[in-house]
A and B are shown apart, each in its own frame.
Chain A
Amino acid sequence: MKRSSPGAWLAIILGVTYFLAPLIATFEFSLRLKRGEYSFEAYRLVFESGNFQSSFLYSTTVALATIVIGVALAVPTAYWVQLRLPRLRGLVEFITLLPLVIPAIVLVFGYIRLYDSSSVLPLTGSAFGTNILLTLGYVGLAMPYMYRSVDTGLRAIDVRTLTEAAESQGANWPTILLKVILPNIRSAILSGAFLTFAIVIGEFTFASLLNRPAFGPYLQLIGASRAYEPAALAVMAFAITWACMGLIQLIGRGAPGAQDTR
């Protein structure tokens, strides 16, 4: 074992200072609403606000829908590519990575022009249609993480043998996917789900430009009009992100090859 180098310690200490300072500062700031004493008043005001509740509920609903659709797209695709269409692997992986290359603001600009009220598919013409568009947009944003997580999970199990065993028992494709494959990659799916949730819950660009009453635009509005509540909200947002990542680690511990977060 090598000795610890002083340079390494210096880097770590500087890094820890830079990373912890904003967390401590934000927490301290969030307690300052009442003059002269620390209190959780800012949190109370946030929780009591109707806009907080409705926007958080809205974004949670969209996040759950995003997860369901994301899983429904990623699992069969990754499964068939692995089992029957390995030649498509490169193309599929390339497509799943597109949302990391195309900036979200460019993508949503395209949505607004392509699906406006005068187009063939006027999704932005109604609130319901716009909700669908937002959700599908999020499915795209989360696809790089969801697909990769599912694909890694599938690689860790013997897809072929499981499929053949199920087939020999007379199971059809939907049954195989739902009852055999899905339970076996549960932890990979949960990882993808939590990461999706962390991305979607506070997303700003899509929600704001599609005029949806989501949590991200609410955050921005509070930031522009209040002093202490934004700090309280930042603490909550960090806690949510931390909880999602923590759960992924926890789930990943038991499953082979499902621990990667990026």
Chain B
Amino acid sequence: MSAIAPTVARPRITLSNLGAWFGVAPFFIFALMFLIAPTVYLLIGAFQNHDGGFTLDNLARLGQPSIRNSYLLSIEVSFTSALFGALFGLCLALAIVRGGLPGWLRPTLMTFSGVASNFAGVPLAFAFIATLGRMGFITVLLNNLGLDLYAAGFNIFTFTGLTLTYLYFQIPLMILVVTPALDGMKREWNEAASMLGASQAQYWRMVALPVLWPSILGASLLLFANAFGAIATAYALTGPSLNIVPILLYAQIRGDVLHDPNLGYALALGMLLITGLSNFAYIVLRARSERWLK
């Protein structure tokens, strides 16, 4: 065996690092058993019929109206909450990075974002019911001011209500993800642009946005995937009435509502495809943005 390994060699097991391989083995066994195998099991099941034979039928049946509508609704909720989450999150991040605000605001907002982006699930639904439910604080407050939200067609247990609730963790997530990118924008670029006679609008259109858009788009995709996989908040808020894909899958796991386990696997495959692609695009875009913002 040659003493000097070629630099392109794959990691290989030698006597000197045998201990190291033993050290990382539990991690790989864990990953295989509790992350990879369960997922692969579903993926394979999505391409099998009842007798275990190969079929594309399950995937084709995802197109039936009830399932297709679930996907559309899920995509709509995720898209809307990602769009507004990205927009408002970007505004807030810009405000703390470039707004010339008092210095204590930034760490406060960042810490709060860390908390709020993790404050999801069932309690978040409770908080919004207490705020904008029929007897909620804001609803009652506005009622006393002569503005009846519910008469105006608002309801917390609907699409709008769910989207508004999701923003509570989407905006903070956007702030956390996009602030480092904004920090990477060098002040000199702005100065150089204005010295060359560019207006602020031109600077943003021709310098800042071309550098920032991969970060912004990437973060938006992360938000999209984040909302798409979420279930607890929606389940606690709307129950089974708003039939987004995770809730449909939940019902399928609970009681085989589709009367077909393999169709359930296909449903899971569809979800995984959407979150997987969004995350993949996020990673690609982040790598692209790091070219400039390092």
Contact of B11 among A85, A98, A209, A249 (CB under 8 A): A85
Query: Please, how many angstroms separate the alpha-carbon atoms of A219 and B92 in the complex?
Result: 32
- Known A-B contacts A22-B128, A102-B39; the reply to A11 vs B92 at CB < 8 A is yes
Question: Taking chain B's interface residues, is the majority helix, strand, or loop, or is none over half, making it mixed?
Answer: helix
Question: Taking chain A's interface residues, is the majority helix, strand, or loop, or is none over half, making it mixed?
Answer: helix
Question: Is B272 on the interface with A (CB-CB < 8 A)?
Answer: yes
A interface bracket (residues with beta carbon within 8 Å of B):
35 or more
The answer to whether B99 and A29 touch across the interface, beta carbons within 8 angstroms, is no
The answer to whether B11 and A216 touch across the interface, beta carbons within 8 angstroms, is no
Question: Interface code A213-252, partner B: CB below 8 Å = 1, 0 otherwise?
Answer: 0001001100110010011011001100110011011000
Query: Please, how many angstroms separate the alpha-carbon atoms of A100 and B230 in the complex?
Result: 11
The answer to whether A103 and B101 touch across the interface, beta carbons within 8 angstroms, is no
The answer to whether A249 and B111 touch across the interface, beta carbons within 8 angstroms, is yes
Query: Please, how many angstroms separate the alpha-carbon atoms of A17 and B39 in the complex?
Result: 41
Q: Enumerate chain A residues within 8 angstroms of B127, measured Cβ to Cβ.
A: 22-23, 25-26, 231, 234, 238
The answer to whether A11 and B95 touch across the interface, beta carbons within 8 angstroms, is yes
B interface bracket (residues with beta carbon within 8 Å of A):
35 or more
The answer to whether A234 and B123 touch across the interface, beta carbons within 8 angstroms, is yes
Q: Enumerate chain B residues within 8 angstroms of A26, measured Cβ to Cβ.
A: 126-127, 130-131, 137
The answer to whether B118 and A4 touch across the interface, beta carbons within 8 angstroms, is no
The answer to whether B130 and A234 touch across the interface, beta carbons within 8 angstroms, is yes
The answer to whether B95 and A8 touch across the interface, beta carbons within 8 angstroms, is yes
Query: Please, how many angstroms separate the alpha-carbon atoms of A200 and B50 in the complex?
Result: 36
The answer to whether B35 and A21 touch across the interface, beta carbons within 8 angstroms, is no
The answer to whether A109 and B99 touch across the interface, beta carbons within 8 angstroms, is no
Question: Is B185 on the interface with A (CB-CB < 8 A)?
Answer: no
Contact of A92 among B20, B24, B176, B236 (CB under 8 A): B24
Contact of B231 among A8, A73, A105, A245 (CB under 8 A): A105
Query: Please, how many angstroms separate the alpha-carbon atoms of A245 and B123 in the complex?
Result: 17
The answer to whether B94 and A110 touch across the interface, beta carbons within 8 angstroms, is no
Question: Is A88 on the interface with B (CB-CB < 8 A)?
Answer: yes
The answer to whether B131 and A5 touch across the interface, beta carbons within 8 angstroms, is no
Question: Is A35 on the interface with B (CB-CB < 8 A)?
Answer: no
Question: Is A107 on the interface with B (CB-CB < 8 A)?
Answer: yes
Question: Is B37 on the interface with A (CB-CB < 8 A)?
Answer: yes
Query: Please, how many angstroms separate the alpha-carbon atoms of A66 and B5 in the complex?
Result: 39
The answer to whether B23 and A102 touch across the interface, beta carbons within 8 angstroms, is no
Query: Please, how many angstroms separate the alpha-carbon atoms of A111 and B42 in the complex?
Result: 10
The answer to whether A230 and B129 touch across the interface, beta carbons within 8 angstroms, is yes
Nearest CB in chain A: distance from B12 CB, A: 9
Q: Enumerate chain B residues within 8 angstroms of A149, measured Cβ to Cβ.
A: none
Question: Is A257 on the interface with B (CB-CB < 8 A)?
Answer: no
9-residue interface stretch from B55-63, B65-73, B144-152, B248-256: B248-256
The answer to whether A100 and B279 touch across the interface, beta carbons within 8 angstroms, is yes
Question: Is A204 on the interface with B (CB-CB < 8 A)?
Answer: yes
Contact of A12 among B19, B95, B128 (CB under 8 A): B95
Query: Please, how many angstroms separate the alpha-carbon atoms of A159 and B35 in the complex?
Result: 29
CB nearest to B20 among chain A residues: A84
Contact of A9 among B10, B23, B101 (CB under 8 A): B101
- Known A-B contacts A25-B127, A114-B37; the reply to A9 vs B235 at CB < 8 A is no
Question: Is A80 on the interface with B (CB-CB < 8 A)?
Answer: yes
Q: Enumerate chain A residues within 8 angstroms of B94, measured Cβ to Cβ.
A: 8, 11
Query: Please, how many angstroms separate the alpha-carbon atoms of A67 and B222 in the complex?
Result: 26
Query: Please, how many angstroms separate the alpha-carbon atoms of A23 and B214 in the complex?
Result: 34
Query: Please, how many angstroms separate the alpha-carbon atoms of A25 and B165 in the complex?
Result: 14
The answer to whether A19 and B130 touch across the interface, beta carbons within 8 angstroms, is no
In the complex, chain A residues 6-46 whose Cβ is within 8 Å of any chain B Cβ: 7-9, 11-12, 14-15, 18-19, 21-26, 28-30
Q: List 15 A-B contacts (CB under 8 A).
A: A4-B101, A11-B92, A12-B96, A25-B127, A29-B135, A77-B26, A92-B24, A110-B268, A111-B38, A113-B261, A204-B121, A216-B121, A237-B123, A238-B115, A245-B118
Residues of chain B whose beta carbon lies under 8 Å from any beta carbon of chain A: 10-11, 17, 19-21, 23-24, 26-28, 30-31, 33-39, 41-42, 45, 88, 91-92, 94-96, 98-102, 105, 109, 111-112, 114-119, 121-132, 135-138, 167-168, 171, 173, 176-177, 225, 228-229, 231-232, 235-236, 239, 246, 249-250, 253-254, 261, 264, 268, 271-272, 275-276, 279
Residues of chain A whose beta carbon lies under 8 Å from any beta carbon of chain B: 1-5, 7-9, 11-12, 14-15, 18-19, 21-26, 28-30, 72-74, 76-77, 79-81, 83-85, 87-88, 92, 95, 98-114, 136-137, 139-140, 173, 195, 198-199, 202-205, 209, 216, 219-220, 223-224, 227, 230-231, 233-234, 237-238, 241-242, 245-246, 248-249, 261-262
